[in-house]
Amino acid sequence: MIVFKQIAHLQKHLQSAKKDGRSIGFVPTMGALHQGHLSLIKLAQSNSDIVVCSIFVNPTQFNDNKDFDKYPITIEEDILLLERQNTDILFLPSVSEIYPQGKKLSKPYELGLIETVLEGAFRPGHFQGVSQVVDRLLQIVMPDNLFLGQKDYQQIMVIQKMIELKKHRTKIIIGNTLRENTGLANSSRNLRLTESEKESAIAIYQSLCFIQENIAKKSISELQQEVAEILHNSGFRHIDYIAIVNAKTLAPLNNYSPSVPTIALIAAFIGEVRLIDNMIL
């Protein structure tokens, strides 16, 4: 694996590869890598000639500075995992390398409704920061394919919108959410959970399964109330949302219909850690 910290050196290497007709797959991460990230590397390897993984903890997408300060940094372990997975390239830039003109956006991205609901409602400015860093990384790497995990469902929609706005020639390929044996979705934030909190956190997946099993039997409002009770009884101290929405628009649904693409999404706090998960119904 080759590690690049400077854009110019990375681009020189990739330009040479592209001249030889090799395709580029890109997996952007913020480090604290887990099996979910590695599954995306594997997916990229099966669809690309060269795989680039980036590790960059992006300061502009944290609306809470405390969350940014607490984000786990495990760079030595991350490098070892990527080497074991035979990753071709690791891009490891500094903040000044990504944002040489400063972090402030000159013009906001016109993301529309998807920026204002669910994650957007509870994390104002978050998706502007996500769009900013992914836009910048796509300008640098210029990949053929961008590999993202379904756990960040709304974020994928935001990135797709940004790609359309900026006319990037990059296709998104979505990897399935990878889960532990308990059903808990792999997440870098899981590193911040105590063992007892990790056991309690399984209730998010169990709640999604409950929705899946009962979506045709109960009203959406009933399901939301019952899931809230499940989460509270399992130790979740605060719930941001339990949403059952149109999977293409994120518009809330009053009633379930098999003919309408539907997804359930949950965001809730266990201890001090905010977890998200979703399930396509």
The answer to whether position 44 is within a domain reads yes
Residues 41 and 145 in one domain: yes
C-alpha pair distances (Å), 161 with each of 91, 111, 122? 24, 6, 20
Burial class (CB in 10 A: 0-12, 13-18, 19+), 182: exposed
Q: What's the confidence (pLDDT) of residue 69?
A: 78
CATH number of the domain encompassing residue 169: 3.40.50.620
Phi-psi region of 188 (alpha: psi -120 to 50; beta: other; left: phi over 0): alpha
- Separation of alpha carbons 117 and 53, rounded Å: 29
List per-residue pLDDT tens for the chain, 281 residues long: 999 999 999 999 999 889 999 999 999 999 999 999 999 999 999 999 999 999 999 999 987 777 787 788 999 999 999 999 999 999 999 999 999 998 888 899 999 999 999 999 999 999 999 999 999 999 999 999 999 999 999 999 999 999 999 999 999 999 999 999 999 999 999 999 999 999 999 999 999 999 999 999 999 999 999 999 999 999 999 999 999 999 999 999 999 999 999 999 999 999 999 999 999 99
Torsion of CA 128, 107, 251, 161, to 10 degrees: -80
Residues 222 and 155 in one domain: no
Residues 95 and 216 in one domain: no
Residue 254, both tokens:
């009053």
Size (the chain), residues:
281
Residues 49 and 116 in one domain: yes
Sign of CA dihedral 114, 118, 120, 126: negative
Indicate which residue of 9, 13, 37, 238 is catalytic: 37
Residue 261, both tokens:
């693409």
The answer to whether position 280 is within a domain reads no
DSSP 216: T
Residues 226 and 159 in one domain: no
Q: Where does 20-64 have alpha helices with state H?
A: 35-47
Among residues 34, 59, 24, which one has the least CA distance to residue 192? Answer: 34
Give the annotated binding-site residues for (R)-pantoate.
61, 155
Instruction: Please tell me the total count of domains within the chain.
Output: 2
Q: What's the confidence (pLDDT) of residue 68?
A: 81
37 has catalytic annotation? yes
DSSP letters spanning 244-267: EEETTT--B-SS--TTS-EEEEEE
CATH number of the domain encompassing residue 248: 3.30.1300.10
Residues 252 and 120 in one domain: no
Range of the domain at 236: 188-275
The answer to whether position 259 is within a domain reads yes
Give the annotated binding-site residues.
30-37, 61, 149-152, 155, 178, 186-189
Residues 171 and 118 in one domain: yes
Residues 40 and 64 in one domain: yes
Residues 192 and 135 in one domain: no
Residues 141 and 168 in one domain: yes
C-alpha pair distances (Å), 43 with each of 46, 145, 170, 180, 215? 5, 11, 16, 18, 31
Residue 28 · residue 137 · CB < 8 Å: yes
The answer to whether position 247 is within a domain reads yes
The answer to whether position 242 is within a domain reads yes
The answer to whether position 180 is within a domain reads no
Residues 80 and 120 in one domain: yes
C-alpha pair distances (Å), 103 with each of 92, 96, 270? 18, 9, 31
Predicted model pTM: 0.94
> pLDDT, tens digit, for every residue of 234-275?
999 999 999 999 999 999 999 999 999 999 999 999 999 999
Give the annotated binding-site residues for beta-alanine.
61
